[in-house]
Amino acid sequence: MQEGENPLESLYAILKLAAEPWRSGNPEIDAFIDLKLEHSARVAEIGGQIAAGEHFPADIMDAANCACMFHDISRFMQYRHHRSFDDRLSFDHGDMSAEILKDAGILDFLAPDDRRDVITAVRLHNKRTLPSELTKHARLLAKLTRDADKLDIMAIFTAQAVENGSADTIGFSLGSERLMSPNILESLAARRCPSYGDIVNACDFWLVRIGWVYDLSFDTSVSIFRERKYLDFLEQELDGIPGADKPLRDAKNYIVSHVGANV
Ligand SMILES: [Fe+2]
């Protein structure tokens, strides 16, 4: 980064350039490219907030900003080729984003160790769990990217709900039954984030988002989750489902025990 530049603005300009070849000229398709650009910029901003709250060392911040800004860099290609962000129909977008970053030269301004850690964090940002053998910095960057990503995805869902009355689960091929699957409830009862593979019904989709609370790595992230009232939103989406009050109550208790009740 050049001195005096706003690092996030510079990285965003680089991301925009990387998205350009994947535009089709069809506004309907290109709107999805813009959605991912905006998401990436917000994830980088949230990542900065979390890093500040957690007192990340200054010398890791270039790498942290890169991991957050570029975590979804393969999404542009994914949408252009597959008209979908569903990895099951196309490719693992964490792996593909890491491959793009390896080859693109975008991270050349970072020290080699930082570059390697950013690529690892990007590869792992969408995996269920982190492997045990990671460098200290790669682990920190991966946790940061995962937390910031989840927080912004929750923002997208809540914005959709405000606009349309409920959030959009179209494209996730979910059953419409207002039921909760036993495996999902079992994971939540153990304060674990359920497996996406266990999602069957629309309710499961929202129950997994409750599980995200347990997957957040930093108290600052839990605090942002609380401040943005995401649990209230999930409560609305699960309104009237018998038995949904228990996982919601457990998650609330977890939040209070980590960061207190006050907003
Ligand atoms: Fe992603």
**Residues 175, 127 share a domain:** no
With a cut of 70, say whether residue 4 has pLDDT above it.
Answer: no
**Residues 233, 115 share a domain:** no
**Residues 85, 116 share a domain:** yes
| Percent with pLDDT over 70 in the chain | 93
**What pLDDT is stored for residue 23 in this prediction?**
96
Residue-wise pLDDT tens digits, 76-107: 999 999 998 888 889 999 999 999 999 999 99
Could you tell me the distance, in angstroms and rounded to a whole number, from the CA of residue 94 to the centre of ligand 1?
6
Of the candidates 240, 52, 217, 101, which has an alpha carbon nearest to the alpha carbon of residue 149? 217
Question: Other CB atoms closer than 10 Å to residue 199's CB: what's the count?
Answer: 22
Residue 171's region, left for phi above 0, alpha for psi from -120 to 50, else beta, is left
- Structurally, how many domains does the chain consist of? 2
**Residues 126, 63 share a domain:** yes
CATH of the domain at 41: 1.10.3210.10
Could you tell me the distance, in angstroms and rounded to a whole number, from the CA of residue 53 to the centre of ligand 1?
23
> For residue 82, what are the domain limits?
7-149
**Residues 228, 145 share a domain:** no
Q: Is there a domain that residue 155 lies in?
A: no
Could you tell me the distance, in angstroms and rounded to a whole number, from the CA of residue 240 to the centre of ligand 1?
31
Give the Cα separation of 130 and 142 in Å (integer): 8
Q: Is the pTM of this model over 0.75?
A: yes
Q: Is there a domain that residue 156 lies in?
A: no
**Residues 203, 142 share a domain:** no
Q: Which of 95, 121, 149 is the last residue of a domain?
A: 149
Q: Which of 119, 149, 179 is the last residue of a domain?
A: 149
Residue-wise pLDDT tens digits, 26-59: 999 999 999 999 999 999 999 999 999 999 999 9
Q: Distance between alpha carbon 99 and the CA centroid of its chain, in Å?
A: 19
Q: Is there a domain that residue 61 lies in?
A: yes
Q: Is there a domain that residue 159 lies in?
A: no
Give the H/E segment covering residue 67: helix 61-70
* Cβ–Cβ < 8 Å for 7, 1: yes
- Show the tokens assigned to 250: 């457990």
**Residues 105, 230 share a domain:** no
Q: Which of 149, 180, 196 is the last residue of a domain?
A: 149
Q: Is there a domain that residue 217 lies in?
A: yes
Could you tell me the distance, in angstroms and rounded to a whole number, from the CA of residue 152 to the centre of ligand 1?
11
Could you tell me the distance, in angstroms and rounded to a whole number, from the CA of residue 242 to the centre of ligand 1?
32
